[in-house]
């Protein structure tokens, strides 16, 4: 089969991690007899430099005409002083919105080989750690009205509507049904009206899923529970802002933010696949970035958008095998590791396919 993939390499380490991941995908194509046709498009800082906008319309059009989108990371210090709507990050938010990608799945799964890479004690990490963060991606304070009152102050409106909460809640409950059967909804309902509303809608949707256990945590407590007892979680259902923060925290349970992939999905099979981390300007251009989060995002793309689950399994097994052979980028390296760069990590994964 022939698949159309739009590719947004992005800024900072974006091109390095995406190029390594495309080579893995090409090898999968060779092995299983698929062709992946890439169309490279610009967004973020690269698009600002080339076209003076963080999200050219052409990028949106080509993404919409593709089977899936692969994205590295956007942003960097070069563009940090631009006004909010002209920043690279506005391109990322704009593309998620334009493509209707309201559900961001961020799986924090520990590869046993990386138990020692996490700063948390081994007994807390435990066995078989597997938490799925279901983050709402096109609402919340990210997309509410923004105001700036000269030098005096500023505001960002936090809001959620019933359809927005209902659809993301269903994604979380449907996921939980196929996994550990538990949803923990995370909010700040002791303070925020938005969160009280969120909680009431989640409780209504829960009635459609009598077999799924539901509990609620305030976000401050959830942040603490994640590092003291992560095994209580199966699916974490939360809003855009809390999900952003908690997923970076959850990534450290797996050893590094460089390990966590994500799928951004809408109503159909189409999706955008992106590591949860950013453009890591501190290590960009040095061949130090860990490409595994992006490689695992490619596996999610094969599974969710292209329906190629054997191929996805193959990539995940190859990552595991490579880690078992001791190969590590700097962010996950330990005492006896074979420390490799981004390019070599990609090549080692390809050899393990
Ligand atoms: P970051 O995730 O880029 O980096 C945080 C830390 O993690 C850094 O020390 C970095 O070196 C390290 N790190 C991140 N990814 C890594 C990898 N694959 N391998 C090894 N180490 C890795 O977060 P930040 O520094 O807060 O943000 C930098 C820029 O990225 C900002 O412009 C921010 O807006 C943007 N950003 C973009 C995305 C995205 O495009 N999805 C996500 C987060 C941040
Ligand atoms: C992420 C990033 C983005 C977000 C930024 C860069 C807009 O942190 O993908 O996690 O907050 O969603
Ligand atoms: Mn983030």
Among 88, 240, 244, 249, residue to substitute to test ligand 2 (most atoms within 8 Å of Cβ): 244
Q: What global pTM score does this model have?
A: 0.98
Q: Copy the structure tokens of residue 208.
A: 């459609």
Among 279, 283, 284, 342, residue to substitute to test ligand 1 (most atoms within 8 Å of Cβ): 279
* Binding site membership of 75 for ligand 2 (Cβ less than 6 Å): yes
Neighbour-count burial of 14, counting CB atoms closer than 10 A to its CB (0-12 exposed, 13-18 middle, 19+ buried)? buried
Q: Which pLDDT does position 335 carry in this prediction?
A: 87
Atom of ligand 1 minimally distant from the CA of 281: 28
CA dist 235 and 226 (Å) reads 12
HSE-up of residue 38 (Cα within 13 Å, Cβ side) = 16
Helix 342-351 to helix 14-32 angle (10° resolution) is: 10
Are the C-beta atoms of residues 301 and 310 closer than 8 Å to each other? no
Q: Is there a shared CATH topology between the 1-106+263-353 domain and the 119-254 domain?
A: yes
Give me the architecture of the 119-254 domain, per CATH.
Answer: 3-Layer(aba) Sandwich (3.40)
Ligand approaching nearest to the C-alpha of 104: 2
Helix 309-324 to helix 342-351 angle (10° resolution) is: 120
Residues 6+ apart with CB under 8 A from 176: 182, 183, 209, 212, 234, 235
Write out the catalytic residue numbers. 142, 188, 220, 244, 248
Q: Copy the structure tokens of residue 240.
A: 């855009």
CA dist 108 and 264 (Å) reads 15
* Binding site membership of 89 for ligand 2 (Cβ less than 6 Å): yes
Class of domain 1-106+263-353: alpha beta
Q: What share of the chain is helix, strand, coil (3-state, %, to 5)?
A: 50, 20, 35
Are the C-beta atoms of residues 160 and 198 closer than 8 Å to each other? yes
What are the average pLDDT values for consecutive 10-residue runs of the chain, which has 353 residues?
A: 97 98 98 98 98 98 98 98 97 98 98 92 93 98 97 98 98 98 98 98 98 98 97 98 98 96 97 98 98 98 98 98 97 93 98 98
- Check if the interface score ipTM surpasses 0.95: yes
Torsion, Cα of 240, 242, 247, 250 (10° steps): -160
Q: 279 C-alpha vs ligand 1 centroid, how far in Å?
A: 5
Are the C-beta atoms of residues 124 and 227 closer than 8 Å to each other? yes
Question: Hey, whose CA ends up nearest to atom 7 of ligand 2?
Answer: 89
* Structural domain spans, the chain: 1-106+263-353, 119-254
Are the C-beta atoms of residues 170 and 205 closer than 8 Å to each other? yes
Q: Which residues surround ligand 3, an ion (CB under 5 A)?
A: 244
Which whole-number Å values give the CA distances from 203 to 99, 207, 210, 325, in the listed order? Answer: 28, 7, 11, 46
* Binding site membership of 92 for ligand 1 (Cβ less than 6 Å): yes
Q: 223 C-alpha vs ligand 2 centroid, how far in Å?
A: 18
Q: Which pLDDT does position 336 carry in this prediction?
A: 87
Q: Which pLDDT does position 140 carry in this prediction?
A: 98
């Amino acid at each position: 089969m022939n698949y159309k993939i739009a590719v947004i390499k992005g800024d900072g380490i974006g091109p390095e991690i995406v190029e390594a991941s495309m080579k893995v995908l090409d090898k999968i194509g060779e092995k299983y007899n698929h062709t992946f046709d890439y169309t490279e498009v610009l967004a973020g800082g690269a698009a600002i430099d080339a076209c003076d906008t963080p999200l050219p319309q052409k990028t949106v059009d080509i993404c919409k005409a593709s089977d899936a989108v692969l994205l590295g990371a956007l942003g960097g210090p070069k563009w940090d002083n631009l006004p909010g709507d002209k920043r690279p990050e506005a391109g990322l938010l704009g593309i998620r919105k334009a493509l209707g990608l309201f559900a961001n799945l961020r799986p924090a799964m520990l590869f046993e080989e990386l138990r020692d890479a996490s700063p948390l004690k081994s007994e807390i990490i435990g066995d078989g750690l597997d938490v799925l963060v279901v983050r709402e991606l096109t609402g919340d304070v990210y997309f509410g009205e923004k105001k700036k009152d000269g030098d005096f102050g500023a505001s960002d409106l936090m809001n959620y509507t019933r359809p927005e909460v209902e659809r993301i809640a269903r994604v979380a409950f449907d996921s939980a049904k196929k996994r550990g059967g538990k949803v923990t909804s995370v909010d700040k309902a002791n303070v925020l009206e938005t969160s009280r509303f969120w909680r009431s809608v989640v409780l209504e949707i829960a009635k459609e899923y009598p077999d799924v256990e539901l509990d609620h945590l305030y976000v401050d407590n959830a942040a603490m529970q994640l590092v003291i007892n992560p095994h209580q979680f199966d699916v974490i259902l939360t809003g855009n802002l809390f999900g952003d923060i908690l997923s970076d925290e959850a990534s450290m349970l797996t050893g590094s933010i460089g390990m966590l992939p994500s799928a951004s999905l809408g109503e159909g099979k189409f999706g955008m696949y992106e590591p949860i981390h950013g453009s890591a300007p501190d290590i960009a251009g040095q061949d130090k970035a860990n490409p595994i989060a992006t490689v695992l995002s490619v596996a999610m793309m094969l599974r969710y958008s292209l329906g190629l689950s054997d191929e996805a399994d193959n990539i995940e097994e190859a990552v595991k095998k490579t880690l078992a052979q001791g190969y590590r980028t700097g962010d996950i390296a330990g005492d006896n590791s074979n420390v490799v760069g981004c390019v070599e990590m990609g090549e080692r994964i390809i050899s393990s396919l």
